[in-house]
Amino acid sequence: MSQEDFFNDARAQFSIVGPQISEAEINAVFTWTFPGKDDLVQFYLLNNGGSRSEQGSLAYCGNPEHQASRDHLEKIRIEGFFAIPHDPGQKMLKYRSMIKYYASRLQTFSEIPEMKAFLESHRPIASDHTGNDCWIDIQSGRVQYILWDTWKEGPIEIASSFREFVTKFWNNGFGGCPTDPPSSS
């Protein structure tokens, strides 16, 4: 798949996208060089977060049957990507702020060494429709999934790169709640 097709396929999955940002703003959040960073930067230049649904990436399905598990990762339904705000303190209606969310996770897990170490080497990039998150390792570029109700068992690697993650979990068209009617976008 060409790079243009990859980004066009990704763009087609969004109902709403975040406000445009610059490469400098993206690099201020992702200051490290890691494999696949170029794809991540281009993706955020085009989309800067957003969601499959018009309500934004703040709505979650409460149906426990839709929850992915370590044994059933095929149930992961990516709802949206975290957005990078122009101002770190800015509220972003309809969009989950990557910076604010990251800060809240750091605060929540500040006293748990293994989670603190994980958070220091990862950044949140996307969330599924049940409230679990995907994080990118800022050294290796690998994407890991955290099931928050079993976080003590550790993250699960689900993609070796940002491109693989987008291709497998976003560009596949399987997003949002599995019982929702197909979107008209």
> DSSP characters for the chain?
--HHHHHHHHHHT-SEEPPP--HHHHHHH--S--TTHHHHHHHHHHT-SEESSTT-TT-----GGG--BTTBGGG--EEEE-B--SSTT---TTS-BHHHHHHHHHHHTTT-HHHHHHHHTEEEEEEETTS-EEEEETTT--EEEE-GGGGGG--EEEESSHHHHIIIIITTS--S-TTSPPP--
Q: Which CATH number fits domain 3-60+75-170: 3.40.1580.10, 3.30.420.40, 3.30.565.10, 3.40.50.720?
A: 3.40.1580.10
Can you give the pTM of this predicted structure?
0.89
The tens place of each residue's pLDDT in the chain, 185 residues long, gives: 788 899 999 999 998 898 999 999 999 999 999 999 999 999 999 999 988 887 665 556 667 787 888 898 988 989 899 999 988 777 766 788 899 999 999 999 999 999 999 999 999 999 998 889 999 999 999 999 999 888 889 999 999 999 999 999 999 877 767 666 554 44
**Domains in the chain: boundaries:** 3-60+75-170
